[in-house]
Amino acid sequence: MIVRVTASDNDVVSARDGVNDLAFDAAMGMATISGIGTGSPRFDTLYRQVLADYTESAKYLLYFMHLGVTSVKLQMETGAIKLVVPTSPGGMEPDMVSEQILKLARPIAACLLHVFSVGDKLLIADTELDMLEDGYDSLGIDFNITQLDYNTFKESENE
């Protein structure tokens, strides 16, 4: 089955509507790192600048979604991820496949939006990571694994 996946305005409307919240969260993180009080005039200035950056970056959300879909496709092709799609009684519908892929692409697009908006203010060079208190561990992300699908490795699958 070949399914063409194309993001539309409907796929990014919630992100565009949430730009104020995204900008506020980013400004809060930046203020914490910089020691800026959240009730201060400096924070207000910071928030307004971050909001302007997010608003500008939100103009590229459809392209960020395209990059997200491309990333999902590459991960599927390499076997890094396996797509799970709910099926209807009539079988797998292309629209359902497309929607699942778009769901996977949204967080990638959100990351791109964040990096494009404030990445230049928050990025840490690899050489600076070991200077942080926790070093590389600072970039660690905890996963709460609630569902696992154990797959037995079969040699014939890798041939």
In a domain? residue 123: yes
**Cα separation values, 149 from 81, 140, 152, Å:** 12, 23, 10
Domain of 64 in residue numbering reads as 9-129
Identify the pLDDT of residue 89. 77
Residues of the chain with confidence (pLDDT) below 70 = 148-159
In a domain? residue 4: no
How many separate domains does the chain show?
A: 1
pTM over 0.85: no
pLDDT digits (tens, 9 = 90+) for 44-56: 999 999 999 999 9
Q: Which residues have C-beta within 8 Å of that of residue 96, sequence separation ≥ 6?
A: 85, 86, 87, 88
62 near 105, Cβ under 8 Å? Answer: no
In a domain? residue 106: yes
In a domain? residue 147: no
In a domain? residue 145: no
